[in-house]
């Protein structure tokens, strides 16, 4: 499963990695979704997260301390934009 597929089936959140209901993950941010589909392989998670960071830096997030988190949490950001980026990168 791709992170974008996971996110299509779950809630998208800002300001935290996951949304829990009764100890069950029901939503996540861009990196939370990535974590859910790549949690068995930290090296795959790191590679995908770094790829997202690099793309966002090229798109104007170069000064951000944590580009992916800052981009996900930006006011006005939508779930659709997050899914579109993940689809574009095939993550």
Per-residue pLDDT of the chain (91 residues; tens, 9 = 90+): 999 999 999 999 999 999 999 999 999 999 999 999 998 888 999 999 999 999 999 999 888 889 999 999 999 999 999 999 999 999 9
Count of domains forming the chain: 1
Report the distance separating Cα 16 and Cα 64, nearest Å: 17
| Residue 56 belongs to domain spanning | 3-88
> pTM value?
0.92
Helix (H) or strand (E) segment spanning residue 19: strand 18-21
């Amino acid at each position: 499963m791709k992170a974008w597929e996971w996110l299509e089936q779950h809630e998208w959140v800002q300001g935290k990695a996951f949304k829990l209901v009764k100890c069950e993950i029901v939503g996540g941010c861009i990196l939370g979704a990535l974590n859910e589909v790549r949690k068995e392989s930290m090296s795959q998670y790191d590679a995908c997260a770094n790829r997202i960071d690099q793309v966002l830096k090229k798109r104007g997030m170069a000064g951000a301390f944590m580009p992916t988190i800052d981009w996900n949490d930006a006011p006005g950001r939508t779930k659709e934009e997050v899914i579109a980026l993940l689809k574009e990168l095939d993550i």
